[in-house]
Structure 1
């Protein structure tokens, strides 16, 4: 009857387990541990001992008994490996080692064990944290190597090469036996204590108050009246030292990356501030320094104990030291200033519309769009690029060299100091030279100087640059350098981008040494 009217074993186990957890939540750790020990010893709950032991380890951890918690977590992890309870115990063990005991190596191993079983979210988180700790050890090695090199950089004795036994490798120096004399020290034989029978016999034969010169090779450096010169010092093979500035930059970058790692992946504000502060102290580059200072200011703002100083000083330092950084606007907002309203460059939008038309092969519509842009835009960074693109389409796609020359001249006159203006100057062909005098014509009495006759090829070429339009009857003739350039243009230039770097790939023929020599020979003969 007692067994019939008693509740099921699971109900008894679950109710007592929840009661122990409630005791733990209210801070009554002793009653929680006592109740957990009671249900752990009950044979009816043998199938639930893994969960009971896990809750017992969690109670030890929250009560501050870290040593007991550590042993309890390890017990569950080892007894229930590759199960959901064991994976959860391994994950909590890793957090205990990482945040409370600062044992990153042990935490990495525990995260790897936690990734073997359990819910999918926990498995992915354990894998990410294990990878982050592996990245931590890699960055720490880079930082420690650079820091060690800079610490001993000026100590010459640390850069002496050594052999396999650890002995320094000496350089063999040839000594001139005639010029080199042994060091001689003066020893007071009266005050020197004899050590051997031979020394006693020698002292008995010599006067007690005499100073006899003796050769001392072991104590020559410390003998009275003798000095070791630079040439007498032993010379060793030295290890070449790395560049100091490069090593310092590597140390600063490794410190910054460690700070970013603790901020983004390991979720440790204290370690984040520590490493970013070191990076700034080690003269971090101007690209990453504003970001480091901004993160430090955010940590100082969130800290209620004021352990990291005044955040306003960090924000103001960003504004004053890095005014062109992209973190300036965020710092202004953090200080309470209104955000800066940025004006929209209409020419930029119009240029991209014209560029899309060009890519689609609608050259005339692209020219019309660029012409309106140039006409209605007074001040924009896209204005020189638009004029150059307009001239490019006239030259290569619409085959209107005169219109292209007019656009190039306008660009060179208004924006000659820009990169596009300089490119336009290179694409403007030089004016044609006057025709050479013909000896046969001079004999008949024709003038040597004067403008060429109307209808001649020279007149047609000259009219191109004077009138700005194509010469009559010679519109299809390639009489200018720009028209010659059209023949050399690639056939697939329609699909090219409008960037200056790619546009400049097609230029006038280069004035090489071979071409100059050919010109000189033609002029000579």
Structure 2
């Protein structure tokens, strides 16, 4: 009986159990099959994306979704099967590649919680790391990696852990740490991961400009016999690294070989852009220009053509100094591909050139003395001032008139010009008739009569048209033409409205800044800065320009002699400016106190007053003291000296009185306040004696009395004042257009 039951069980139950096992195995098998297909599509899309300048959607989503459905079915219907941990890992990976990182994270954590001793534990932990990195949760990812690295790992697991450590640092843009981690991954990882680790190592070496290490990394990848698309990627990256390493010939040779193979056609535009850059760096500018144009012709209205136009703009700007052609190419970048990675840079470059042209124009106008209103335009064509061109009539139709009479007179004036043109036509016709072999007499007479009638009509119109109307007509015509031309010029260069011709000092300074910071032309910048200092020594832009001279000589040209000369001049001429403080700091000099500065200013004023007889310059230096430091001890003395100069040398008694009055009120407790009161009394008495012969008011000479008592130049306090430093001479090599 017992044997009979075993037979029944074998016949009915065992096949049933076997069917159930086959069912969940088939379910998992199908899930795994779809997952593998999705992964293959994903990797292919990643490779294509790395060689494409336009972003593309990740591949494999459809297959991943089918894999997810099958895996979820297994968990629902067969929760106790031996493939549950497999299914959880597959779900986590499929969600991850679909970009559903939170869902993936939940499945990885579920696997670790339910199957702490699963063979897939390490993969689940690395899945958690990848999800936290994708979610930018750096700290959580780093904690998991530290915990993993502290435990026992196989060689394969150690290589993978180092690889994802590198990925973490790469996402954090810590490229040096990333390169170190990828280098360790190369030492531990299996060959399948070494290819990816080698590419990542080379890319991060590029980011930290360790191009020699990048070259070694890409060559290592090529030795591993990678798939064709990965091999091409490594070769292109190798050429780029060789370029930055200065190995232009080798890079060019490699790129030309790759371009010669039909199988690499899909990435030809990218390689041609790289080739053009290599040619330009090697010095073959014409070859680079031709290569860029080939890219534009073969790939219009794409990111490739936009990059090519940008490259052309750089070549025309930097190498050929042809700013018009550079501008044309920079403007084309956005037109070719509005979302180009070079669009913003090209727009800034174009703006710089517009500013350069505008500044040159307003500076030229300022130097010509055109400092009011719009910049005038010199007309070179005499024909434009003529009354005869018919195009003038069309433009003048928009002119308004003061009255109906004026409009009528204008119409007559226009008609007269039309008659003149008709006469010209008849004269040409007469010449043609007379030149013929057998001129028809009747036709000749007819043309002559027509001409005479027009001349009579023309004389009549001349008598009825006042000269004032003609003058007004021509004046308005010129104004309208000038207005239209100015509008056209501003439309061509929008930066023209940013500058005023009368602000010549500011414009010269801004042109110097543009040359130095945007066009990397320090010699041209030096010339502009010197113009500011020589033409406008008292301008607020003068100390800035002088500091720029110092900076270029000190930092860029390493010319200590000229830098020291600029520094001395800065400390002498502009000692209290922030630029002077910066110069002192750079040169390690002790910062001057306010008292030292004021004494130096007072000394300069005395130098101008007593030695050079430059009274206005003396007033300027005295004024700096009492205006900027009214609380200082030297303020009343400087104010008194200013009033005294206006009274005795600059013939301005009214201004002198006003200054003496200010001094007597604001500084009445000082000796100079008392002297000011005495001066005011003396001036009042002198002005009241109008009937008597007027004699000049003799002021107590500062030069002979006060300076003996408290002059800042007395021998007891200091030696003779050194002469004012002058700017270093402009040498031949600095004279740059």
TM-score calculated relative to the size of structure 2? 0.31
Instruction: Compare the two structures and name the one with the higher helix fraction.
Output: 2
Q: Which has the higher contact order (CA 8 A, sep 6+)?
A: 1
